[in-house]
């Protein structure tokens, strides 16, 4: 695979440049297999105020140095390049915990002012959302996903290592009241994480009950080998089939006939609908063939896949002196296109040579 070198591109891209033959230089960012990357995930920070067991170890996380983090203006510039030059239509802000980034309102406002106006969403653990939901909606946020792994405080504290269940519940209610609908809830189930007396099947069922009662859309995510502690094992992971079997023993589930498109969650109507539940089977039923994502880490690296082994540095280019505005935007767009062009067909988790990426999920931006 071609690795994009640091520094400015030496020539115009396309047919002439080794590794990028056939790469279009206008229109959406394509890869060699014809997928268009129109959905951008931007990590605003790698830091977090929770320590979810499947994401971070209890202690000993090392954070990106402050100088390496993109400034708010740098983030907004990359979003502008993505939307106005690379046909990105959706931008999701994530992390780490994106609500910890105090410039989030101004980053949202800048993105909402772009034309064409991208869809703006957020993935958050919900801490502090109660105070911020209205402001974020006013700044242009369209919707959000809130992570909640259990419907009771004790199991939640076990999963996140912090006693903050009530804050998340208050945050969810505030998001709904602020019109950030549909409010989606992300849940990762763990066998060990819910060992405090409660079976994971009960945890799953209670979460579904909570979401049905409150009008939130629940989506379970299969646990992926992206934890900073590198403790993931396939045997410990709870599969999509297991989750569906557990929920199916308490509710009538039927496939949602609405087209799935590139959405990663398989969706099931609950007891005939209209409420539904989603299961994202990233490990057991990968959706790589339909993947439309591109990612920017908090330190300005493009990742063309969650599981990519290589990254492409936009930060060095952003900070390189001597280019006028137009030339810099052009160079950023070109570098980004090149990064996406070399995306692999799939995440390769079942390949014998698969290796967990060096960056954990919290530093990539989930």
Q: In 271-348, at which residue ranges do the beta strands (DSSP E only) sit?
A: 276-280, 293-296, 301-303, 312-313
Interacting positions 91-150 with ligand SF4 (CB under 6 A): 95-97, 125, 147
Residue pair 22/40 in contact by the 8 Å Cβ criterion: no
Q: How far apart are the C-alpha atoms of 70 and 271, rounded to whole Å? A: 46
Q: Does residue 43 bind ligand SF4 (CB under 6 A)?
A: no
51 binds, among ligand SAM, ligand SF4, none (CB under 5 to 8 A by kind): ligand SF4
In 3D, which of 111, 132, 147 has the Cα closest to residue 177?
132
**223 binds, options ligand SF4, ligand SAM, none, Cβ within 5 to 8 A by partner type:** ligand SAM
Q: Which of 37, 40, 51, 54 binds ligand SAM (CB under 6 A)?
A: 54
Q: Is residue 79 near ligand SAM by the rule CB under 6 A? A: no
Helix (H) or strand (E) holding 202: helix 200-214
226 binds, among ligand SAM, ligand SF4, none (CB under 5 to 8 A by kind): ligand SAM
3-state secondary structure 57-119: CCCCCCCCCHHHCCCHHHHHHHHHHHHHHHCCCEEEEECCCHHHCCCHHHHHHHHHCCCCCCE
Q: Does 174 participate in binding ligand SAM (rule CB under 6 A)?
A: no
52 binds ligand SF4 (CB under 6 A): yes
In sequence order, what are the beta bridge partners of 276?
A: 269
Judged by CB under 6 A, the chain residues 225 through 254 that form the site for ligand SAM are 226-227
Work out the angle between the directed axes of helices 153-160 and 165-177 (0-180°, nearest 10).
Answer: 100
Instruction: State the Cα torsion 147-151-155-157 to the nearest 10°.
Output: 50
Residue 29 contacts ligand SF4 per CB under 6 A:
no
Rounded to an integer, what distance in angstroms lies between the CA atom of residue 307 and that of residue 225?
A: 9
C-beta of 302 vs 331, nearer to ligand SAM:
302
Residue facing ligand SAM at closest CB distance: 366
Residue 94's binding partner among ligand SF4, ligand SAM, none (Cβ under 5 to 8 angstroms by kind) is: ligand SAM
CB of 22 to ligand SAM, least distance (A): 34
Pair 226, 357: CB distance under 8 Å: yes
Strand pairing of 266-270 and 276-280?
A: antiparallel
Interface with ligand SAM in residues 84-113 (CB under 6 A): 94-95, 97
Look at residue 361 and give its three-state secondary structure: helix
Tell me which of 40, 42, 48, 334 binds ligand SAM, using CB under 6 A: 48
Tokens of residue 68, six digits: 């390496």
Residue of 4, 23, 29, 56 that binds ligand SF4 (CB under 6 A): 56
Query: Is 172 an interacting residue with respect to ligand SAM (CB under 6 A)?
Result: no
Question: Does residue 297 belong to the site contacting ligand SF4 (CB under 6 A)?
Answer: no
Binding site for ligand SAM (CB under 6 A): 48, 54-55, 94-95, 97, 123-125, 147, 186, 188, 221, 223-224, 226-227, 361-362, 366
Binding site for ligand SF4 (CB under 6 A): 48, 50-52, 55-56, 95-97, 125, 147, 362
């Amino acid at each position: 695979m071609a690795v994009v070198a640091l520094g400015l591109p030496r020539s115009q891209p396309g047919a002439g440049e080794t590794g990028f033959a056939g790469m279009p230089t206008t229109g959406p960012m394509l890869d060699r297999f014809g997928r268009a990357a129109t959905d951008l995930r931007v990590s605003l920070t790698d830091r977090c105020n929770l320590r979810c067991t499947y994401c971070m170890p209890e202690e000993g996380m090392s954070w990106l140095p402050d100088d390496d983090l993109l400034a708010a203006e740098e983030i907004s510039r990359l979003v502008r390049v993505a939307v106005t030059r690379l046909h990105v239509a959706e931008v999701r802000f994530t992390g780490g915990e994106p609500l910890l980034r105090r410039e989030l309102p101004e980053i949202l406002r800048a993105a909402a002012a772009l034309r064409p106006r991208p869809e703006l969403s957020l993935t958050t653990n919900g801490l502090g959302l109660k105070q911020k939901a209205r402001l974020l909606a006013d700044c242009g946020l369209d919707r959000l996903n809130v992570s909640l792994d259990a419907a009771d405080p004790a199991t939640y504290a076990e999963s996140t290592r912090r006693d903050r269940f009530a804050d998340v519940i208050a945050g969810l209610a505030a998001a709904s009241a602020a019109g950030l609908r549909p409010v989606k809830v992300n849940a990762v189930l763990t066998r060990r994480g819910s060992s405090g007396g409660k079976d994971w099947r009960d945890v799953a069922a209670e979460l579904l009950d909570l979401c049905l009662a409150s009008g939130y859309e629940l989506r379970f995510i299969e646990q992926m080998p992206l934890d900073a502690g590198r403790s993931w094992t396939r045997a410990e992971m709870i599969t999509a089939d297991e989750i569906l079997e557990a929920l199916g023993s308490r509710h009538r589930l039927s496939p949602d006939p609405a087209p799935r498109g590139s959405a990663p969650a398989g969706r099931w109507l609950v007891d005939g609908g209209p409420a539904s539940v989603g299961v994202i089977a990233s490990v057991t039923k990968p959706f790589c063939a339909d993947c439309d994502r591109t990612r920017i880490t908090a330190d300005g690296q493009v990742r063309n896949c969650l599981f990519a082994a290589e990254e492409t540095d936009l930060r060095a280019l952003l900070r390189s002196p001597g280019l006028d505005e137009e030339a810099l935007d052009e160079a950023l767009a070109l570098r980004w296109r090149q990064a996406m062009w070399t995306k692999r067909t799939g995440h390769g988790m079942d390949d014998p040579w698969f290796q967990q990426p060096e960056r954990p999920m919290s530093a990539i931006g989930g």
